[in-house]
């Protein structure tokens, strides 16, 4: 067997050999893989040479940007590039309701913003680091050892940046020998909080695909608030770790409700919670009814724009985990 300590040692050696004293850029999503990759880079190389770029799309979860900055600083980040790209993402999305058009718009903006910000903040040559896991290599069908075209994050698939760096041999993937559970162990060893290490997956397009129909800043704010109450309650009630992925979805439906004597039309919010091994198939989480009812009341009490809460009882297949 091998120990995680030994892995960290070997990875550090490999990184030093490959990168030397050059700059390394890592795009941070806030998820487990990119955070652990960042922690490993910072531990292995001179933090002065490491550039961690996080892009706030305006479709992030509540306080996400602040939390990500704080976590990376704790890990010793010196060049933290927190990019406020909210207007650049939300502007082009105005009036777009079709799910694939939304994804395409968000993906295109990612490419544009990355290029703009790299040009602004990084001079000269640099390596691009990615949080690719062993399973990402296998799933891509390329196998280990032949990494041509093997790419991890959905929004970076086939981007000119990744393709270009790969051609130059300027890609580093320090997690490429690890499975997800090993990445989690490594994360804990690097001192990353359990709350981050055991985080549910979150899609690249963010809340943009959890707001059904067109995306506005106002809807992002409403969903952010509701989602944060939901997730916080799952933690408090000891349910979070029993669920593979949980989130809220804002529907483009207004339903009638009563407050005092008035009839009001509020948004409908759907709660989703599934159990799964890999996201390929998923079963509905057998949610304790009492918790579900209490969480529903908390949300409608605290988020005045939401008038009704429903629980999604569909498995995958035939449904997908996300609604779009």
| Number of residues lying near ligand XMP (CB under 6 A) | 12
Shortest spacing between CB 180 and ligand XMP, in angstroms? 12
Q: Are 203 and 60 in contact (CB under 8 A)?
A: no
In Å, what is the CA distance from 117 to each residue of 64, 243, 317? 20, 36, 40
Shortest spacing between CB 26 and ligand XMP, in angstroms? 17
Q: Count the neighbouring beta carbons within 10 Å of the beta carbon of residue 44.
A: 19
Contact status: 102 vs ligand XMP (CB under 6 A): no
Task: Find the binding residues for ligand XMP in span 7-46 (CB under 6 A).
Answer: none
Q: Are 295 and 229 in contact (CB under 8 A)?
A: yes
Angle at 72 between CA 154 and CA 235, to 5 degrees: 75
Q: Which stretch binds ligand XMP (CB under 6 A): 2-10, 36-44, 196-204, 290-298?
A: 196-204
Q: Which of 44, 49, 132, 245 binds ligand XMP (CB under 6 A)?
A: 245
Q: Are 305 and 229 in contact (CB under 8 A)?
A: no
CA distance 214 to 83: 24
C-beta closer to ligand XMP: residue 170 or 199: 199
Shortest spacing between CB 323 and ligand XMP, in angstroms? 8
C-beta closer to ligand XMP: residue 19 or 197: 197
Contact status: 321 vs ligand XMP (CB under 6 A): yes
Q: Which of 38, 131, 174, 203 binds ligand XMP (CB under 6 A)?
A: 203
Closest CA to 315 of 274, 269, 270: 274
Q: Which stretch binds ligand XMP (CB under 6 A): 116-124, 157-165, 197-205, 288-296?
A: 197-205
Pairing of strands 283-284, 262-275: antiparallel
Task: Find the binding residues for ligand XMP in span 253-282 (CB under 6 A).
Answer: 279
Shortest spacing between CB 136 and ligand XMP, in angstroms? 12
Shortest spacing between CB 103 and ligand XMP, in angstroms? 6
C-beta closer to ligand XMP: residue 38 or 204: 204
Q: Is 82 helix (H, G, I), strand (E, B) or coil?
A: strand
Contact status: 103 vs ligand XMP (CB under 6 A): yes
Q: Which amino acids are annotated as binding site for ATP, given as ranges? A: 29-35
Contact status: 154 vs ligand XMP (CB under 6 A): yes
Shortest spacing between CB 155 and ligand XMP, in angstroms? 6
Q: Is 260 helix (H, G, I), strand (E, B) or coil?
A: coil
C-beta closer to ligand XMP: residue 187 or 204: 204
C-beta closer to ligand XMP: residue 77 or 248: 248
What does the H/E/C string look like for 163-207? HHHHHHCCEECCCCCCCHHHHHHHHHHCCCCHHHHCCCCCCCCHH
Any residues with CB less than 8 A from the CB of 323 and at least 6 apart, and which?
209, 210, 212, 249, 270, 272, 312
Shortest spacing between CB 296 and ligand XMP, in angstroms? 22
* DSSP label at residue 211: B
Shortest spacing between CB 178 and ligand XMP, in angstroms? 19
Taking the CA atoms of the chain, what radius of gyration do you get in angstroms? 21
Contact status: 322 vs ligand XMP (CB under 6 A): yes
- Is residue 151 left, alpha or beta, with left meaning phi > 0 and alpha meaning psi from -120 to 50? beta
Site for ligand XMP, rule CB under 6 A = 103, 154, 201, 203-205, 245, 279, 316, 320-322
């Amino acid at each position: 067997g091998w120990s995680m300590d030994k892995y960290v040692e070997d990875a550090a050696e490999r990184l030093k050999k490959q990168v030397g004293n050059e700059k390394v850029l890592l795009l941070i999503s806030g998820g487990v893989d990119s955070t652990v990759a960042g922690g490993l880079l910072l531990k292995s190389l001179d933090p002065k040479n490491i550039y961690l770029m996080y892009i706030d799309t305006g479709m992030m979860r509540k306080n996400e940007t602040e939390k990500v900055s704080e976590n990376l600083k704790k890990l010793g980040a010196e060049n933290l590039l927190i990019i406020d790209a909210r207007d650049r993402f939300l502007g082009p999305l105005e009036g777009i309701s079709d799910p694939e058009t939304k994804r395409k718009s968000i993906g295109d903006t990612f490419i544009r913003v990355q290029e703009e910000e790299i040009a602004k903040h990084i001079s000269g040559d640099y390596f691009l680091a990615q949080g690719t896991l062993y399973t990402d290599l296998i799933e891509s069908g390329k196998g280990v050892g032949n990494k041509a075209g093997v790419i991890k994050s959905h929004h970076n698939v086939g981007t000119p940046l990744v393709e270009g760096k790969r051609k130059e041999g300027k890609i580093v993937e320090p997690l490429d020998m690890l499975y997800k559970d090993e990445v989690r162990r490594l994360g804990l060893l690097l001192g990353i909080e359990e709350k981050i290490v055991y985080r549910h997956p979150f899609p690249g397009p963010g809340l943009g695909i959890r707001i059904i129909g067109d995306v506005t800043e106002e809807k992002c704010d409403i969903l952010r608030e509701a989602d944060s109450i939901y997730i916080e309650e799952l933690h408090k009630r000891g349910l979070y770790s029993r669920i593979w992925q949980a989130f809220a979805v804002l529907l483009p439906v207004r339903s009638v409700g009563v407050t005092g004597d008035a009839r009001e039309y509020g948004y409908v919010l759907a709660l989703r919670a599934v159990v799964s091994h890999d996201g390929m198939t998923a079963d509905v989480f057998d949610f304790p009814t009492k918790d579900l009812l209490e969480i529903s009341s908390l949300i409608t009490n605290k988020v005045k724009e939401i008038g009704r809460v429903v629980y999604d009882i569909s498995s995958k297949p035939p449904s997908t985990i996300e609604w779009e």
